[in-house]
Amino acid sequence: MRKKLIAGNWKMNGSLAANATLLDNLRAGGAVGCELAVCVPAVYLSQTQSALTGSSIAWGAQDVSEHESGAYTGEISATMLKDFACGYVIVGHSERRSYHRESDELVAIKAAQVLKSNMTPIVCVGETLSEREQGHTDAVVIRQLQPVLAAVSSRLSEIVVAYEPVWAIGTGKTATPDMAQQVHAVIRAALASVDVHAANTIRILYGGSMKPDNAKELLAMSDIDGGLIGGASLKAADFLAIASAA
Ligand code: 13P
């Protein structure tokens, strides 16, 4: 049985003052029946670590450098993130793929870096609206996943995958539970082609306008093992309501 994971992606939001309130409220939310994590801007990792240490909520980052160290101005390495006890690191978010032109191959190297520092990569895949309309959804997510499967095959069971249809991110449009389930099943079959046992244990999260009022039906689908939550993770009440739906 896969334990559900509800992970917040704060994106480029927050301030010391706002985070303090949000993190306190999450901590005060008490035990929920699933795993909870927040992926925060890197400059707030220290604050998040202080606020959440000793709680059951994990924390992590939203990106990582593909390099280990050296002259890469502005980059943050996996070992640096590990210094702040990150449990998770998002890689390949569609905003990084589109605004920073991250390729499938680069995302795979980043996933491997995260594993090397013994953290869990949350590998994001998902199609654009025009790719969906042309019937290319399955091919796109498999293409995005392929280099990752090759790069991390020996530690495949340690990754988390997030299916985030680009057209559903921050738009208020959500994939229906059936649409999401269909793609999750395609992803799980691709994982199984490398390692059947790992495919059964890997959590595949859904992301894209998941909210308290649609979380329950999405999370009821057999291959949806949690959520990667953007906007709704910035309000403790909403984030915790999604967690209780899980
Ligand atoms: P929203 O929940 O705001 O649509 O964002 C989803 C997302 O991109 C999480 O990584």
- Encode pLDDT of 132-161 as tens digits: 999 999 999 999 999 999 999 999 999 999
Beta bridge partners of residue 7, listed in sequence order: 37, 228
67 is catalytic: no
CB of 68 sitting under 6 A from ligand 1: no
CA 144 to ligand 1 center in whole angstroms: 18
Q: In ligand 1, which atom is closest to the CA atom of 169?
A: 4
Q: Ligand 1 mean position to 70 CA, how many Å?
A: 32
Q: Which amino acid does the sequence have at 245?
A: A
- Check whether 46 has a pLDDT greater than 90: yes
CATH classification of 5-245, choosing from 3.30.420.270, 3.40.50.300, 3.20.20.70, 3.40.720.10? 3.20.20.70
CA of 9 to the centre of ligand 1 (A): 7
The confidence score (pLDDT) of residue 106 equals 98
Q: Is the pTM of this model over 0.95?
A: yes
Secondary structure of 206-217 as H, E, C letters: EECCCCHHHHHH
Query: Given the CA of residue 172, which atom of ligand 1 is nearest to it?
Result: 4
Does 210 contact ligand 1 (Cβ within 6 A)?
yes
- Nearest by Cα to 10 from 35, 33, 42, 34: 42
Lowest mean pLDDT, pick from 42-51, 172-181, 197-206: 172-181
Residue 208 CA: which ligand 1 atom is closest? 4
User: Would you say residue 127 has pLDDT above 90?
Assistant: yes
Of 58, 10, 40, nearest to 160 (Cα)?
Answer: 58
Query: Which of 90, 167, 229 is the pocket-test mutation for ligand 1 (most atoms within 8 Å of CB)?
Result: 229
Query: Ligand 1 mean position to 122 CA, how many Å?
Result: 13
**If pLDDT is split at 50, 70 and 90, which confidence band does 170 have?**
confident
Please report, for the chain, the start and end positions of each structural domain, with discontinuous segments joined by +. Answer: 5-245
CA distance 35 to 68: 29
